[in-house]
Amino acid sequence: MTNKKNTARSILITGCSSGIGYRAAHMLRERGWQVFPTCRKLDDVEKLRAEGFEAFWLDYQDNGSIESALTQVLDITNGKLDALFNNGAYGLPGAIEDIPVQAMRDQFEANVFGWHDLTCRVIPVMRKQGHGRIVQCSSVLGLVAMKYRGPYNATKFALEGLTDTLRLELHGSGIQISLIEPGPIRTKFTQNAISMFFKEIGEDGLQRSHFRKIYERRLKHMSKGGASKFKLEPDAVVEKLIHAIEAPKAKARYYVTVPTHLMGVLRRILPYSILDKVLLKASDSEE
């Protein structure tokens, strides 16, 4: 990890209410970055402002908030931005056949389309200044799929393809783009996913579902925090982010946690018949 502080560089970070985004904001400010954290809830924005940040409201599902937040940031920086960390996202658990179409649309709006909107607004700024870093927080579930996580799997697979394409199209522009692919990280992600399950599928949907008994078992497990084996703190992700925005040459991908490293290898060397067995076991694991 690079140790040099960068007092003149600025970064916009999304999803900073807790977890990875919150730690990224604090750790980068400590390194001398001018940090602009954003959140989708105004109460979280106010909390960050009380901590001394120039924080803004940004909800990926609200195009107006994306435009407004970036405009305010650029007003402060005189039209420049050195880095963007797209981080805010949520998961919707459930079997594919139980996911309402609108819920799937909402998941893509928050996890893909909003990211695309913000990124496309930032690229001309970075292109004009001749440099910039864009870092996308993906997931091990952007490398392999697991059961009962379909909407999230789909958005992260889409993000992987979108980012790989951007990397090719931005070649030679001075803008470097990277993916960070965490596995299990100790955040509020699981807690928020439970809330989304009951919002989109609900108790009635649970009772009608072919997967009712599985849902009941998994929800009980998730309420206890989900899988704990190999789980790391958010700081492990931020360490990769620091390299991606400070190193002379950023990597295309950064794996975080043992499961991500393992799945990155297995998907390349195993036939699908065997990989599926591994993923079925991993999907059902309650360790």
pLDDT digits (tens, 9 = 90+) for 149-190: 999 999 999 999 999 999 999 999 999 999 999 999 999 899
| Whether the Cβ atoms of residue 6 and residue 33 lie closer than 8 Å to each other | yes
Q: Is 22 a catalytic residue?
A: no
What is the mean predicted confidence (pLDDT) over 130-149?
Answer: 97
Q: What are phi and psi of 255, to 5 degrees?
A: -85, 140
Overall residue count recorded for the chain in this entry = 287
Write the single-letter amino acid at 69: A
- Whether 243 contacts 251, CB under 8 Å: yes
C-alpha to C-alpha distance for 191 and 236, rounded to whole angstroms: 20
Which residue is catalytic, options 60, 152, 215, 255? 152
The structural domains of the chain, ordered by start, are 10-284 (3.40.50.720)
Quick check: helix, strand or coil at residue 3? coil
Q: How far apart are CA 48 and CA 42, in angstroms?
A: 10
101 pLDDT above the threshold of 60:
yes
At residue 103 the predicted structure's pLDDT band, cuts being 50, 70 and 90, is very high
What's the 3-state SS for 179-208? EEEECCECCCHHHHHHHHHHHHCHHHHHHH
Number of H helices, E strands in the chain: 12, 7
pLDDT at 227: 66
pLDDT at residue 97 tops 80: yes
- Give the mean model confidence (pLDDT) for residues 131-152: 97
Alpha-carbon span 151 to 149, nearest angstrom? 6
Res 6 pLDDT > 70: no
197 vs 168: CA distance, rounded Å: 37
Identify the CA nearest to 179 among candidates 235, 119, 116, 244. 244
Place 2 in a pLDDT band, splitting at 50, 70 and 90: very low
Token pair listed for 7: 């007092």
Q: Which residues pair with 39 in a beta bridge?
A: 57
Task: Supply φ then ψ for residue 159, to 5 degrees.
Answer: -60, -40
Q: What is the pLDDT of residues 199-220, one digit of tens each?
A: 999 999 999 999 999 999 999 9
Do the beta carbons of residue 166 and residue 193 sit within 8 Å? no
Choose among 89, 106, 133: nearest CA to 199.
106
Mean residue pLDDT of the chain comes to: 94
Lookup: tokens for 138: 């993906």
Closest-CA residue to 119 (of 178, 78, 77, 72)? 178
> How is residue 246 written in tokens?
């400070």
Question: pLDDT by residue (tens digit) across 227-251?
Answer: 667 899 999 999 999 999 999 999 9
Residue 8 in this model has a pLDDT that exceeds 90: no
Dist. CA 238–CA 28, nearest whole Å: 9
- Going by pLDDT thresholds of 50, 70 and 90, the confidence category of residue 283 is confident
pTM exceeds 0.85, yes or no: yes
Which H or E run includes 125? helix 114-129
Task: Tell me the pLDDT tens digit for each residue of 44-77.
Answer: 999 999 999 999 999 999 999 999 999 999 999 9
Q: Could you tell me if 100 and 129 are in contact, meaning their C-beta atoms sit under 8 angstroms apart?
A: no
